[in-house]
Amino acid sequence: MSGLDQALEGVLARLDAEREAALSRLFQLLRFESISTDPDYATDCRQTAEWLATELSGIGFDASVRVTSGHPMVVGHAEGPDGAPHLLFYGHYDVQPVDPLEYWNTPPFEPAVEVREDGSQLIRARGASDDKGQLMTFVEACRAWREETGALPCSVTVLFEGEEESGSPSLVPFLEAHREELTCDLAMVCDTGMWDADTPAISVTLRGLMGDEVIVKAASRDLHSGGYGGPATNPIRVLSKILAGLHDDQGRVTLPGFYDGVVEPSPEIKAQWDALPFDAEQFLGSVQLSHPAGEADRSVLEQLWSRPTMEFNGVTGGYTGQGFKTVLPAQASAKISCRLVGDQDPEAIRTAWRAYVRENLPTDCEVEFFPHGGAPGTVLPYESPSYEAARGALTAEWGADAAFVGCGGSIPIVGYFQEILGMDSLMVGFALEDDAIHSPNEKYELKSFQTGARSWARILAALAARS
């Protein structure tokens, strides 16, 4: 047994012994109401960042809260042995809004452990899975390495962001301004999921994102539908026609040029995906759906991992309170987003979408747009040795072959790390499909938290062993 292997045994034993304390620290983090998209929670976000910096300092990181024009970043550095790889770990401490609050069974910011009939346990809270629970798996792995051996086996820089759920407006300027400080050999991003509850996964493709908001304006004020109904243009009617025209009856997006740059996955990846035991019926059935709504000629896994989408995330106009109001509203608005793959260009698609809206706008309407982030899709170099080393560590910890999988979501940071810092990302995470991230009653498996921390302890050793 090498010295590194021996040290790892001690680190894993320490993680097992310190489980209660680790959970209590996670609960502290979960109690912060760090909703980044809503300015009312700015103070909560700052306090969360301060708490994280203090935690990192306590385990030997040179850590600080960095002011941005939005919510702050947390950066920490811990040096490893000479010649060991230098790794950047990224996570985000901000969370999604909690509405509709009435769908929550417990208060979203009062974390609790729930025990199922089969004895398995879960951590219930907003952010438990996305991303506070995930980022704490890495922090706890570092703590155990530090406390057991006095140092980390690799040099580690930590970057925690507070705007991931609100389009990351400060991220690119921050990366550009701190290129030297943040450029490492490899990034590690913990914002993805397991293949299933027993099978760990490394995400090797990601969909990109183009988000946009449109406001359609008609009359100069809200009108009474008795006095104006008929001749007055109704912006809800206009917006409905615009949204309704974006998909054909085969589920394809009709926007001209939308599919430009879409790349089919490589035969190797496609073969791996085909071999994965995926039950589309069960996947949809878990949220009470049964009929795939994407492109009719594509499998559900393709619809999720390798095909782009155009989705409507929010729509509002007119009177939406209790009761009824016979109003013709002055305006109606929608928030839309596209998931992008391959070489689709987010800005070209934003331009095409806006042009389509303008072309379909009646004379009596005006339109305003607000951009909400854009990032292209990503394919990572999964054939390189670091990825194989991490896959080996995960397989050893979980006792099941780790899978290279696609990810339907967008993790723009991975694209930025490539573009700005010239760094690939190893995406490992322990979330499950049913974690209800972005939804009421979000949870994280207690096993994800505990075995996740052990997984990172092993990955650090495996990457160190390659040096």
Site for a second copy in 316-335 (CB under 8 A): 316-329, 332-335
| Nearest distance from C-beta of residue 214 to a second copy, angstroms | 13
Which of 53/95 has CB closer to a second copy? 95
| Nearest distance from C-beta of residue 334 to a second copy, angstroms | 8
Nearest partner of 129 among 463, 338, 436, 414, judged by Cα: 436
Scanning 131-139, 281-289, 379-387, 414-422 for contacts with a second copy by CB under 8 A, the matching segment is 281-289
Ramachandran quadrant class, 280 (left: phi over 0; alpha: psi -120 to 50; beta: rest): alpha
User: Applying CB under 8 A, which of residues 39, 58, 107, 257 lies at the interface with a second copy?
Assistant: 39
- Is residue 227 within the footprint of a second copy (CB under 8 A)? yes
| Nearest distance from C-beta of residue 270 to a second copy, angstroms | 17
Residues of span 169-198 touching a second copy by CB under 8 A:
none
Positive/negative CA dihedral, 361, 367, 372, 378: positive
Please give the structure tokens belonging to residue 368.
């305003």
The separation between the first and the last C-alpha atoms of the chain, rounded to the nearest angstrom, is: 17
Quote the distance between the C-alpha of residue 78 and its chain's center. Answer: 26
Quote the distance between the C-alpha of residue 103 and its chain's center. Answer: 22
User: Applying CB under 8 A, which of residues 287, 368, 383, 384 lies at the interface with a second copy?
Assistant: 287
Which of 185/222 has CB closer to a second copy? 222
Which of 177/287 has CB closer to a second copy? 287
Which of 132/143 has CB closer to a second copy? 132
Q: What is the CA radius of gyration of the chain?
A: 23
- Is residue 220 within the footprint of a second copy (CB under 8 A)? yes
Those residues with Cβ within 8 angstroms of residue 231's Cβ, 6 or more apart along the chain or in another chain? none
Buried residues in 377-403 as b, exposed as e (16+ CB within 10 A): bbbbebeeebbbbbbebbbebbeeebb
User: Applying CB under 8 A, which of residues 241, 256, 264, 296 lies at the interface with a second copy?
Assistant: 241
Report the distance separating Cα 319 and Cα 220, nearest Å. Answer: 16
- Is residue 128 within the footprint of a second copy (CB under 8 A)? no
Please give the structure tokens belonging to residue 92.
């985000």
Residues of span 242-271 touching a second copy by CB under 8 A:
243-245, 247
Those residues with Cβ within 8 angstroms of residue 329's Cβ, 6 or more apart along the chain or in another chain? 218, 222, 234, 235, 236, 317, 318, 319
- Is residue 226 within the footprint of a second copy (CB under 8 A)? yes
- Is residue 351 within the footprint of a second copy (CB under 8 A)? no
Q: What is the DSSP string of 45-107?
A: HHHHHHHHHHHHHHTT-EEEEE--SSSPEEEEEE--STT--EEEEEEE--B----SGGG-SS-
User: Applying CB under 8 A, which of residues 135, 156, 190, 218 lies at the interface with a second copy?
Assistant: 218
| Nearest distance from C-beta of residue 156 to a second copy, angstroms | 27
Query: For the chain, what's the residue count?
Result: 467
Q: CA angle at residue 211 from 208 to 212, to 5 degrees? A: 155
| Nearest distance from C-beta of residue 228 to a second copy, angstroms | 7
User: Applying CB under 8 A, which of residues 46, 237, 270, 354 lies at the interface with a second copy?
Assistant: 237
- Is residue 294 within the footprint of a second copy (CB under 8 A)? yes
User: Applying CB under 8 A, which of residues 157, 303, 378, 451 lies at the interface with a second copy?
Assistant: 303
| Nearest distance from C-beta of residue 231 to a second copy, angstroms | 4
- Is residue 307 within the footprint of a second copy (CB under 8 A)? yes
Q: Judge whether 394 and 237 are in contact, CB under 8 Å.
A: no
User: Applying CB under 8 A, which of residues 175, 190, 427, 437 lies at the interface with a second copy?
Assistant: 437
Scanning 138-146, 151-159, 180-188, 221-229 for contacts with a second copy by CB under 8 A, the matching segment is 221-229
User: Applying CB under 8 A, which of residues 288, 359, 381, 385 lies at the interface with a second copy?
Assistant: 288
**DSSP strand E in 341-411: where?**
366-375, 378-379, 403-407
Which of 60/200 has CB closer to a second copy? 200
> Other CB atoms closer than 10 Å to residue 432's CB: what's the count?
20
Which of 229/256 has CB closer to a second copy? 229
